[in-house]
Amino acid sequence: MDRRSGCISLNRKILKHDIFKFSKQYSRFEAWIWLLFKANYTDNQVCIGNEVYDLKRGDMIVSQLKMRLLFGWSNTRLSNFLKLLEKTGSIRYKTTNKMTIISIVKYDTYQVRQQQKNNKEITKEKQKRTNNNINKENKEIRESKFINLVEDVFVKDYSSERKECIKEFCEYWTESNMSGNKMKFEMQKTFDIKRRLGKWIQNSKDWNLTPKADLSEYKLDATGYCYIGYCDKCNESSFYKEYDLNKDSSCCNSKINPRKN
């Protein structure tokens, strides 16, 4: 048997693997795998504003800005990559001022359909897949819209600052909750992008001027968003954001330790 033929199954959770998560720049292979994972497994309809888009199996709606930030690529490199895939017959794509629609050519070659199941299982799993696809597409559209708004504010008000702030800010605020249906910025009562981005940029400057705390020494609270720190003077515990661990305690203005003295 030729071991170079056939296929293996890969779970989409692989995108959360440390190799991808902490990679500063994707290779073309990693970017291609990302596209395969993000494509629709079934036909689907997506509503954006007042427009309804019929997406076939293997299609996806993406933001090129999100792809550039995620891949760590320049606009030119991403553009050349998409053109190369189109030239080799791997994809077809169309770009508007709002989005990019990509179709994986011969998607069934990469994603084999499961064998026929009994009618009860098919009905149940089809409904589940439909709901998951709707949630996934809606979340990605909301995320793309948020990233576009952040970029607009940055260009207008903070264009002289580090461009990496956009990626850092968006990665932090688009983190999903445990159920995966909401992002961190959506769980805030109010969210003024200009004010929060300005504060983020200022904090990043302060952060770079002081030694970073070893986060592995600190425990997270139940929400997973704050760290538990202890005052060096009175040993009282409190909750702190990552960038606050380098500052003084809220009670005695003393050093913040990861554990009691």
Which own/partner pairs from 77-82 qualify as long-range (CB within 8 Å, at least 24 positions apart)?
Answer: 81/28, 81/31
Q: What average pLDDT score do residues 73-96 get?
A: 93
CA–CA dist 261, 259 (Å, integer) = 7
Q: Which two tokens stand for residue 176?
A: 């999903």
pLDDT at residue 70 above 80?
Answer: yes
Q: Which residues of 128-138 are buried (b: 16+ CB within 10 A; e: fewer)?
A: eeeeebeebbe
Residue 122 confidence (pLDDT): 57
pLDDT at 236: 92
More confident residue, 124 or 188: 188
Q: What CA–CA distance (Å, rounded) separates 60 from 104?
A: 9
pLDDT reported for residue 150: 92
Per the CB < 8 A criterion, the answer to whether 256 and 249 are in contact is: yes
Looking up tokens 């007042």 gives: 50
Per-residue pLDDT reduced to its tens digit, 204-260: 877 665 556 778 888 888 877 788 999 999 999 998 888 788 788 889 988 899 999
Least trusted range by pLDDT, from 19-28, 145-154, 157-166: 19-28
pTM assigned to the model: 0.44
Do 260 and 221 touch, CB atoms closer than 8 A? no
Alpha-carbon torsion 22, 24, 30, 32, what sign?
A: positive
pLDDT in tens, 99-126: 899 999 988 888 766 544 455 565 666 6
d(CA 12, CA 31): 14
What separation in angstroms does the CA of 52 have from each of 2, 61, 219, 241?
Answer: 45, 12, 45, 41
Q: Which backbone phi and psi does 141 adopt, to 5 degrees? A: -70, -45
* Mean pLDDT confidence for 28-46: 88
How large is the average pLDDT for residues 69-77? 91
Residue 3 has pLDDT above 50, yes or no: no
- Which is nearest to 170 in space by CA: 20, 48, 63? 63
Half-sphere exposure of 216 (CA within 13 A, CB side): 0
The three-state DSSP-derived secondary structure of the chain is CCCCCCCCCCCHHHHHCHHHHCCCCCCHHHHHHHHHHHCCCCCEEEEECCEEEEECCCEEEECHHHHHHHHCCCHHHHHHHHHHHHHCCCEEEEECCCCEEEEECCHHHHCCCCCCCCHHHHHHHHHHHHHHHHHHHHHHHHHHHHHHHHHHHHHHHCCCCCCHHHHHHHHHHCCECCCCCCEHHHHCCCCCHHHHHHHHHHHHHHHHHCCCCCHHHCEECCCCCCEEEEECCCCCEEEECHHHCCCCCCCCCCCEECCCC
